[in-house]
Structure formats: structure tokens, C-alpha cells
Structure 1
Amino acid sequence: MPSQAPPPASRASAWRILLLIPFIGTLWVPFYNHPLPALYGFPFFYWYQLLAVPVSALIIFIVYKAES
């Protein structure tokens, strides 16, 4: 019975660099801490954060599909 070698250790792929986009985009508060431009009465501060949620989910989905 031949012995099976363990699979090689996985290295972080270049796709994971995309995960830094939403992280840095929401971590750097001075970038979006402004009232203008307003969208439907919402200050930029709020709608930027609300938009960051689906954008982050989309980026995570893309990285997941690219690595699997």
C-alpha cells in the first residue's frame, strides 16, 4: 500500500489582495467623513458605509470563486 504524501502547504494567492480594498476603504475614516455629496438626503458618510457592505460581499465572493 503506497503512502500518500501530505498536500503541499497552501500559500496565500494574489486574489486575497483584493480583500484589502474594503478593509482599507472602511478603516480610513477621513476619506468618507464628509456630508457631501448627499444621495437621496443621506450624507456621504452614511451611504458610503451602506454601499461598502454589498461591495465587500461581492469582493469576498469573487475571491472565494477564484480560489476554489
Structure 2
Amino acid sequence: MSEAPEVSGGPVVTPVRVVIGLCLFAPFVAMLWVGSYAKVEPKFIGIPFFYWYQMAWVLISTVLTMVAYTLWRRDQRARSSAKGGASR
């Protein structure tokens, strides 16, 4: 039987990666749950809720994606420096 290869980079699922996943998953849940925003009221400067809610999520998604990217880069730097420090 073949043996599973050892993973020497530490745990694959870390709390930071869970946060990254949540940041990327939240906009999908918000947009796919149509029943939560399929209404006209409350209006914002004359725009029905249905439209301004979706437009707000465009901005929220941008911020969440930037947070996820920043966390991912920080995690990758930490993993590469830990790997480089361990091999010395």
C-alpha cells in the first residue's frame, strides 16, 4: 500500500484561512438569499431596497476581497519565512 505524503508546512486549515474563506463566501450567501432583499421598502434616495442592497454588496464585496487578499499575502509570507527559518 502507498503511504500518504507528509505535509511539512503546518496545518492546512488555519484560523486565518477560515476568515479568508468567510470573507469570500459571505457575498455569495448575501446575493443568493434573494428572499432577504426582494422588497421595495425601505427606499434610499428614491431607490428601492432591492437595487441599493445589491449595489451596497458590490462595495462590501470589494472590501471583503481586499481583506481576504491582504490576509492571504500575510499568511503566505509567514509560512515562507517559517519554512526558510526551519531549514537553516
TM-score, structure 1 normalization: 0.79
Query: How many aligned residue pairs are there?
Result: 62
What is the root-mean-square deviation of aligned Cα atoms in Å?
Answer: 1.9
Moved over 4 A (4+): none
The correspondence of residues 47-62 of structure 1 with structure 2, limited to 5 A, is 47-62=52-67
Question: Matched residues, percent identical?
Answer: 31
Question: CA separation in 2, counterparts of 1:64 and 1:11?
Answer: 17
In our comparison, the structure showing a higher alpha carbon Rg is: 2
SS of corresponding position for 1:33: coil
Runs of 5+ unmatched residues, structure 1: 1-6
Structure (1 or 2) with the greater helix fraction: 2
1:23 partnered with 2:28: yes
